[in-house]
Structure 1
């Protein structure tokens, strides 16, 4: 059975691959790395890229932390144990071009030793990838979901449909009655079954991680040279505000990081560099903005 140390090592490798690829994609900006240690155990490598040709702000973070779970997290997870280990890679990219989408990905592993020597440790994998276009370009969304389905289909016949619905439900801004973007896939607390070993789940996690760079490279290159207006950029800033609302109000990773005394700069790197809240904005009938809002809903079949 694969060890937590090996999982962390391979996640670090995926972080390295993605950072190198994104620097090549941008062609100007490079990542700045900060290594940090967590009070209580573990640490990570936070990497941020800013002010590039296309990448206005992005983070590709790795962490491997351990120690004692706060009671709030222990109760939320409905577990008795306090000792934990968690490792993962988390990515958020905010482009400077309104026609290039925001993208998020997370792959992670969580483990707690058993308090009963006759029982195995509590362990699971989680993760996901989702797309938040400022303007929904339907061909791009179909391409994105098609890639995710092809990855899922290699590991479980029901993975895409299950995890796509999970993403629709998770990435939902309840107080706005709209999805954060056009979804993707999301899964949590996935464990070994009769049909799926721990190694299988880990391979799926890595395959998802390695799908990030080719899929985002394609989406960036499809749109990076399109012309746009000041009005397009104003809309981009407004859509960024919705992204910020979700991450601060609903995102489980943000809550976990804050509750476990994580590094604040790494936790909040998902927030956009600039966003705007326009009072009672109403899009013009028949506009690109109205079309985008009409597609920010659950249950759309993109493949």
Structure 2
């Protein structure tokens, strides 16, 4: 059993984000049913220290569904009994959806509430649209949603998101729309309402984009070989960015080893090993060693599956790398 945080704000955050999780999973399940995919998302629970310090529940899409990979996770970790810890609790919804059809974009959403022992409390709000094949209409629709819900904070969040999701070694961004508000808790804003409106608006916007794509795809021919290769290459870029630059993923793996598969739930199911290998020499030292070690985890083939077993090895590889080359 999970022991949950007891502060009023943490209780509210967990209830709100759990409701948003169920709402998103329900909307995704409706799309599956509309496209003759009856299989349901399956729940997977994980515990921090056997539940003493919380844990989480994630819903994963079944294989051979509309999704290449899809995970919707809500977690709450609390250290109310550990005064040596810098934070009291962290409550988060984190989800990544990778549709199987290359014409449909991926999405990443992260909304979290953190309470520090110093007395500082804040939200982290992220949303980014990540297509293998760029569609300007999708980009504009997603940005319009973000702008309408964020108001005066849209430009700040876009600038911070563009910086966060930029990949210097490849001179590319991970997606086409990036929103990131860090440490968000201004005194003149009802941040609970802001976070609630944000998460539901982003979910609804993505569902509308995905539904339109799937409805259109259903009457078209199957994806071409070129489109499928574009998706494979893009998913390789996504894989590279998450494992070499994403601070949240790296921190999650370094802090504990109790949810490695869940922490790596954002990874797409297949990558282009040959392309990943080409990026070793483009990656600054010593991180190029990490990329080389990641390449070595996969069989000598172009299209390689990121299996559960390989995710476990990826987590071990990242911990080993940062043991030898600590984060500055």
Tell me the TM-score normalised to structure 2 length. Answer: 0.74
> Aligned residue for 1:299?
none
How many residue pairs get aligned? The number is: 258
Deviation string 1:46-95 (CA, Å, 9 cap, x unpaired) is: 21113354222200000000228x9xxxxxxxxx9534310010010111
**1:57 maps onto 2:98 in alignment:** no
List structure 1 segments (4+ residues) > 3 angstroms apart after TM superposition: 277-281
Name stretches of at least 5 consecutive residues in structure 1 with no aligned partner: 71-79, 115-120, 282-303
Alignment partners' CA distance in 2, 1:138 and 1:126: 27
> Aligned residue for 1:216?
206
Alignment partners' CA distance in 2, 1:53 and 1:38: 30
Deviation string 1:220-241 (CA, Å, 9 cap, x unpaired) is: 2222214320111011001000
Match for residue 32 of structure 1 among 42, 50, 65: 42
Alignment partners' CA distance in 1, 2:146 and 2:136: 15
> Aligned residue for 1:273?
269
**1:263 maps onto 2:253 in alignment:** no
Displacement after TM superposition at 1:2 (Å): 4.9
Match for residue 232 of structure 2 among 230, 234, 237: 237
> Aligned residue for 1:66?
78
> Aligned residue for 2:174?
180
Name stretches of at least 5 consecutive residues in structure 2 with no aligned partner: 1-6, 280-328
**1:160 maps onto 2:154 in alignment:** yes
CA contact (8 A) 2:69 2:267 kept: no
**1:84 maps onto 2:100 in alignment:** no
Displacement after TM superposition at 1:6 (Å): 1.7
Deviation string 1:182-219 (CA, Å, 9 cap, x unpaired) is: 123111111232x22xxx11211111211233212221
CA contact (8 A) 2:79 2:85 kept: no
CA contact (8 A) 2:59 2:71 kept: yes
Q: How does 1:11-160 map to 2 (within 5 A)?
A: 11-27=17-33, 28=37, 29-39=39-49, 41-67=53-79, 82-114=86-118, 121-153=119-151, 157=152, 159-160=153-154
Displacement after TM superposition at 1:10 (Å): 1.4
Alignment partners' CA distance in 1, 2:146 and 2:32: 23
Q: Which has the higher helix share?
A: 2
CA contact (8 A) 2:166 2:172 kept: yes
Alignment partners' CA distance in 2, 1:103 and 1:52: 19
Alignment partners' CA distance in 2, 1:221 and 1:12: 23
Displacement after TM superposition at 1:260 (Å): 2.4
The alignment partner of 2:125 has SS state of: strand
CA contact (8 A) 1:238 1:277 kept: no
Displacement after TM superposition at 1:254 (Å): 0.6
The alignment partner of 2:269 has SS state of: coil
Alignment partners' CA distance in 1, 2:45 and 2:107: 24
Cα RMSD between the aligned structures?
A: 2.2
Q: Which has the higher contact order (CA 8 A, sep 6+)?
A: 1
Alignment partners' CA distance in 1, 2:248 and 2:231: 24
Match for residue 241 of structure 2 among 222, 237, 246: 246
